[in-house]
Amino acid sequence: MEVNNTLKVLKKFYGLLMEMNYHKEPADFVEELEEENPFISMHLRNVILHRTKAKAILKKKKYLALKEQFIALKELGLDKLQELFAPKERIEMVKLFRKFEELTEKDIDSINDDQDFLIFISSLKDKLEDKDGAK
């Protein structure tokens, strides 16, 4: 009898844990609270909005700083940096560019630069993640 009660309590407890859903984003609560408590919903939305504005400012700042470093490194022509940009990917992209007849050589170079910059960012991210994982 006692065992049955314990099992029932555990079952209810797990059920409640499942309902809590720790991974739920704040934005999901806004809709839920819309009818139940418009006051809290409005303020929660304001918090999310300001978090977005802050994220946009930080991202822009980081991007500009990274771009500056990237241009400086490219000008130095560091071998390590050149190794990041696999020539195979370049060849694949040139095939795609041929489909766009209005693209000039300058446009293609500029798109390649953007692509190199994105590769540079993702390599940095991977390196940072590896470093964090090693800690």
Partner 1 sequence: MALNKSQIEANKLLNSLGWSKPGDLTLSEIAFASNAFVEESIIEGSQGRIVMKGNEAIITVSSKIEFEPKKKFVLAH
Residue 107 found at the interface with partner 1 (CB under 8 A): yes
Instruction: Assess contact for 86 and 60: CB atoms under 8 A.
Output: no
- The span from the CA of 100 to the CA of 95, in Å, is 10
- The span from the CA of 5 to the CA of 127, in Å, is 51
Which structure tokens are listed for 89? Answer: 């990917």
Pick the piece of the chain touching partner 1 (CB under 8 A) from 7-15, 47-55, 68-76, 127-135. 47-55
Residue 50 found at the interface with partner 1 (CB under 8 A): yes
CA dihedral for 118, 121, 125, 130, sign (positive or negative): positive
Residue 45 found at the interface with partner 1 (CB under 8 A): yes
Residue 100 found at the interface with partner 1 (CB under 8 A): yes
The footprint of partner 1 (CB under 8 A) covers 25, 27, 30-31, 45-53, 55-57, 59-60, 63, 100, 102-104, 106-107, 110-111, 114-115, 117-119, 121-122
